[in-house]
Amino acid sequence: MDLIIIGLLGGLITGISPCILPVLPVIFLTGGAQSARYEADGASRTVPARRSRPYLVIAGLMPCAGPVLAAIIVAGARGRIGLDTVLLTASFAVGVAVPLLAFALAGRGVVERIRAFRTRERGLRIAAGVAMLALAVGLVFNAPQQLQRLVPDYTAALHRDLTDNDQAAQALGLGGLVTDENRDLDNGTNGADELQSCGTAPAIRGISSWLNTPDGAGIDLAQLRGKVVLIDFWAYSCINCQRSIPHVVAWDKAYRDAGLQVIGIHSPEYAFEKDASNVAAGARDFGIDYPVALDNDLSTWTAYRNRYWPTHYLIDASGTVRHISFGEGNDAATEKMIRELLEDADPGVALPAPTEVADDTPDAGSTTRETFLGSSKDVNFAGPDPYRAGPGTFA
């Protein structure tokens, strides 16, 4: 039931969001207007219409929800296909279809009630055809995307409410769930002491912007063959990342000239972490001057099948992932393997002494759990009154 509700709500929100604007002409004109039944030539005859047309048009659009529906399918699958996948996909499709069908039927109702349409049917149909052609041209030149940017995202708050809990976030693709790109990554042992072979590193994709690159240009891993690459998934407000970053910064400074390329993939956990100026300020505070990719849609996060902040993926000079480390800690082993791969790539390389950065990783269980300022995740609350959603006074 949780997945069905999440799918329906996600579909309903998508069906009324700005991203649906490009298909509204299709819905109104081909789905609505062309199914209208009305009198023509005064009252001498009634123009027939295929009344099922709106339903057929919407049924055709439901599989065409694009990347959003694909993300729902992948996220729901979690590496397997089962009843939960089918339920989530079907409920999302139904959720999208409901508002679209309402638009189509509303368009038909308007046409049937407008007297002018009865006398100017031919001209209006020609105008509708021109509008459809204009839409096609606009799609080629990405005009709908520009229109969407001009329209305020009035459903953003609804999306945030829907993804406030962990299960919803995972179901909607915000939990680093698996994809089919490189399943060999699953063969890697977290924090292994020796180099492994985990398949070709997935490409860096879906990046909204870059920091610390010439003119904000993106980086293609395929062009870094011959270099050892360290991919660091992080978020600037994550305490585990804050304790890990000094090690990554030290490795970048020590081994950059020896052939190491560090790339930070900033994958936000919270909405405020999507703000580029916030990330830039965080990077400056941590002394990060290596390239940082803003993975605001978690596209690269998902391509790497990632689940944790931070995570290090160590890639050799041929583009193969050789080491994976989830969470903070294990820094000495990671640095040892960085040195090994640099020597493999260039046997004559002169490496500096290993870095000396204090490991501040606390022992498991030695600290209290994280406390979130939200009633859905509260822990260790000791106040006399219940801690619940809504306004409250605390002393």
Contact 139, 22 (CB under 8 A): yes
| Cα-Cα-Cα-Cα dihedral sign, residues 52, 55, 58, 60 | negative
Average of per-residue pLDDT values in the chain: 79
Between these two residues, 168 and 118, which has the higher pLDDT value?
118
Fold annotation for 186-345: Glutaredoxin (3.40.30)
Contact 262, 232 (CB under 8 A): yes
Contact 255, 342 (CB under 8 A): yes
Give yes or no for residue 357 having a pLDDT over 80.
yes
Contact 358, 267 (CB under 8 A): no
pTM comes to 0.55
Q: Quick one: CA torsion of 123, 129, 134, 140, rounded to 10 degrees?
A: -170
**Residue extents of the structural domains in the chain:** 2-162, 186-345
Q: HSE, CB side, 13 Å, CA atoms: give it for residue 232.
A: 28
| Cα-Cα-Cα-Cα dihedral sign, residues 5, 7, 9, 15 | negative
pLDDT digits (tens, 9 = 90+) for 182-218: 777 877 888 888 999 998 999 999 999 999 999 999 9
| Cα-Cα-Cα-Cα dihedral sign, residues 34, 37, 38, 39 | positive
Q: Which residues pair with 260 in a beta bridge?
A: 228
Q: In the prediction, which pLDDT does 380 show?
A: 76
pLDDT digits (tens, 9 = 90+) for 217-241: 999 999 999 999 999 999 999 989 9
